C-alpha cells in the first residue's frame, strides 16, 4: 500500500501547521472519523505546547480525509485544529 498526497492538500496542510510526517502518523495510528462521499477519515491529537498566531495552544488535532484506489491511498484533504482535548 502506497500513500500519495495531492499537492494542494500538502500545501494547505503546511499552511495549517502540519507536515508529511504527521500526516503519515495520523494515517497509521489515528482514530477513524466520519467522512462523506465514499471517503474515509482519521484524526489524531498531538501535543503542541506553543503559540500559533499569538495564541498559546496545548494541543493540535490533525484530520485527514482520503480515498482508496486499489492498493493506493490518496490523501485529499488535511485539517488542523488547535485547542485542548481531554
The pLDDT of residue 36 is: 93
Taking the CB of residue 66, how many other CB atoms lie within 10 A of it?
25
pTM, two decimals, is 0.92
Per-residue pLDDT band for 69 (boundaries 50, 70, 90) equals: confident
Per residue in 15-47, pLDDT (tens digit) is 999 999 999 999 999 999 999 999 999 999 999
Q: In the structure grid, which three cell numbers stand for residue 27, read together?
A: 494515517
**What CATH number does residue 29 fall under?**
3.30.2310
| Tally of structural domains, the chain | 1
Query: Domain residues for 14?
Result: 2-83
> Which residues is 2 bridged to in the sheet?
72
d(CA 32, CA 43): 7
Per-residue pLDDT band for 71 (boundaries 50, 70, 90) equals: confident
Amino acid at each position: 500500500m502506497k500513500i500519495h498526497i495531492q499537492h494542494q492538500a500538502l500545501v494547505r496542510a503546511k499552511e495549517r501547521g502540519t507536515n508529511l510526517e504527521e500526516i503519515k502518523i495520523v494515517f497509521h495510528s489515528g482514530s477513524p472519523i466520519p467522512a462523506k462521499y465514499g471517503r474515509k477519515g482519521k484524526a489524531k491529537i498531538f501535543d503542541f505546547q506553543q503559540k500559533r498566531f499569538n495564541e498559546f495552544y496545548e494541543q493540535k488535532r490533525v484530520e485527514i480525509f482520503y480515498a482508496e484506489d486499489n492498493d493506493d491511498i490518496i490523501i485529499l484533504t488535511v485539517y488542523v485544529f488547535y485547542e485542548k482535548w481531554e
